[in-house]
Structure 1
Amino acid sequence: MSRNTSVLLVLAAAAALSGCAVGPDKRDPMENWNRAVFKFNDTVDTYALKPVATGYKNITPSFVRTGVSNFFGNLGDIWTGANNLLQGKGADGMSDIMRVALNSTFGLLGVLDIASEAGLPKHKEDFGQTMGKWGVTSGPFVMLPLLGPSTLRDTVGLPLDVVADPWRYKDPVNVRNIGSGTRIVDQRAALLDASSLFEDAALDRYQFLRDGYLQRRQSQVYDGDVPQEKSDNEDNVPAQPVVNPTGQGAGT
C-alpha cells in the first residue's frame, strides 16, 4: 500500500469516527435519500459508465483524448468568463475571454490549448459559485440522480449552467448527442485513476465523497482563501483530499 493511500485511509477513518461521535451531519438532513441516490449512481457507473470510459481510454490515443477535453473545455471557458465577470473578477473574466479567442482561432476551435502555453491560466466557474460569492449559502447537501453531488444552492444554479452551455444549441441534433456522450465518457475516463484511489481509500465512500465535495465547493467559492469564520462553522469535519469518482455533479 502506498503512503498516499495509507494517509487517505487514516483520514477516512477519522471522518467516520467523527461522524459516529457527533451523530447525524447537520449539513446533510436528507442523508437517507442521498445515500439511496448515491447507491443508484454508483451502480450505473459500475456497470455502464466506467466500463465504457475504460474502453475509451484503452483504444483512444492520448492526443485525441486531450483534443476532446480541450475542445469542450474551450466551450466551458465562455461561461466561466461570464461568471468571473459577474463575480466582479474583471481580470480573470477578460483572461477567459482571451483564452476563448485564442483557442477558437489559432487553437483549431479549441482542440489545441495554446492559451495556457501563452500564460493565460484556465479557470472553472459556474453560477453556483457566483451565488456563493454574493453571499448565498450552500444549503443542505444533495445527491442528484446521475449528476452526482451538489448542494441546494448549486442545484438551483444548475439549470442556468445547462442553458449557458454552447454545445446545447449545436445542430444537427445527432451531432449534438454524439458530442454530449463523448464529453461525458471523456470526463469519466480522465478520473479512472482517481476513482480507483477513492474505492481503495474510503471506508464510507458516501461520507468521503460528501465531505470532500463540500470542502472543495467552499474552496472554489472563495478561490482557495476561505475566511476563518467560515471554516470554523463546518461542523469540525476533518479536512480530506477531494475525489469525485464519476466526474459528475454541479460545478465539478
Structure 2
Amino acid sequence: MKATILSALFMSLFVTGCATTGDNPQDPYESFNRSMWEFNKGLDKAILRPVAKGYKAITPDPVEKGVTNFFNNIDEVPTIINDVLQFKFGKALKDTGRFLINSTLGVAGLFDPATDMGLEREEEDFGQTLAVWGFDSGAYLMLPFFGPSSVRDGIGSGVQATSFYSLYDELNDKQTEYILKYGIDIVQTRAAILSIDEQLESAPDDYTFLRDVYLQNRKFKIYDGNPPIEDDECEFEEDCEEF
C-alpha cells in the first residue's frame, strides 16, 4: 500500500494546477483500475489510515522525523545502485556521500546532516532506470495493495524489491526483521501524508486526480526535474521554439 498515496500525493502539492481530467491514452484499463482504486481506498480506510493516525498521535515529532530519516537513509542504497545503472556517476558519488555522512555523523541515519551540507536527497529507482534504458512506460495500472503504477514501473518495483530483500536477507538472515522494518516504513510514510487526505477527497474525481499526478510525477523524476515540453504545452507558451 505504500505506493497508493505516497510520492504522487507529495508531488500533488506542486502540480495540482497541472492535473488534467478526461480520457487518457495511457489508461486503457480504466475500468479495472478504478475498481482496484476503490479496493485500495477501502483497505486504507479500514486499516492503514487508523493505524497511521494512532502512530502519529503517540509518536513525538522528533521521533517521527528520526524514523523518516532512518528509512530514507536505507533507501539511499538502491538509489546509488540505480545511479550507476543509469551511468550517473557524479550523482552516484554524491548519493554515496549522503549515505556515508548520514550513516556516521547522522547516527545510523536518524539525523540528516548531509542535507545541511548541501547534499540534497534525490531518489532513483529501477523503473526510472528502465526508462533511461529506453523501455516504454506501457499502460497505467492501479495495483491492488500497491497503488498507482505502470507496466514498466511495476516490473521495476518488483525487481528492486526482490533484489533488495535478497541482499538484506543474505547480509542479515532475518526475514522477519525486514518485514517488520518495511511495515514500520509504510505506517510512518502514511502518517506523514495524513494532512493531504482532504485535498484528495475534495477532488472532483479522486481517481483521475491521482492518476494524472502520478504520471506527471514519474515523468518529472525520469527527466530529473526537466521533462521535455510537449507540443500541446507549446501552444500556450510564448517562448516555445519550433523544432
TM-score range, shorter chain: 0.7 to 0.9
Higher relative contact order (CA 8 A, sep 6+): 2
Task: Determine what percentage of the aligned residue pairs are the same residue.
Answer: 41
Q: Structure 2 length as normaliser, TM-score?
A: 0.83
- CA RMSD of the aligned region, Å? 2.4
C-alpha distance in 1, partners of 2:201/2:212? 15
Counterpart for residue 117 of structure 2: 118
Matched residue pairs, number? 219
1:26 and 2:25 correspond: yes
Q: Which blocks of at least 5 consecutive residues in structure 1 are unaligned?
A: 237-252
Change (3 A) 1:172 1:31: same
Counterpart for residue 93 of structure 2: 94
Q: Structure 1 length as normaliser, TM-score?
A: 0.80
Structure 1 segment 62-211 matched on structure 2, within 5 A: 62-165=61-164, 168-169=168-169, 170-200=172-202, 202-211=203-212
C-alpha distance in 2, partners of 1:232/1:155? 28
Change (3 A) 1:160 1:233: farther
Q: Which amino acid aligns with 1:35?
A: R
Counterpart for residue 246 of structure 1: none
Q: Which amino acid aligns with 1:78?
A: V
Structure 1 contact 75–165 (Cα < 8 Å) conserved = no
* 1:168 to partner: Cα distance: 4.6
C-alpha distance in 2, partners of 1:11/1:154? 22
C-alpha distance in 2, partners of 1:29/1:44? 24
C-alpha distance in 2, partners of 1:41/1:66? 26
Change (3 A) 1:11 1:98: closer
Runs of 4+ in 1 over 6 A off after TM superposition: none
C-alpha distance in 2, partners of 1:196/1:165? 34
Q: Deviations over 1:119-158 (max 9, x none)?
A: 2111111011111122211111001111000011101111
* 1:171 to partner: Cα distance: 4.5
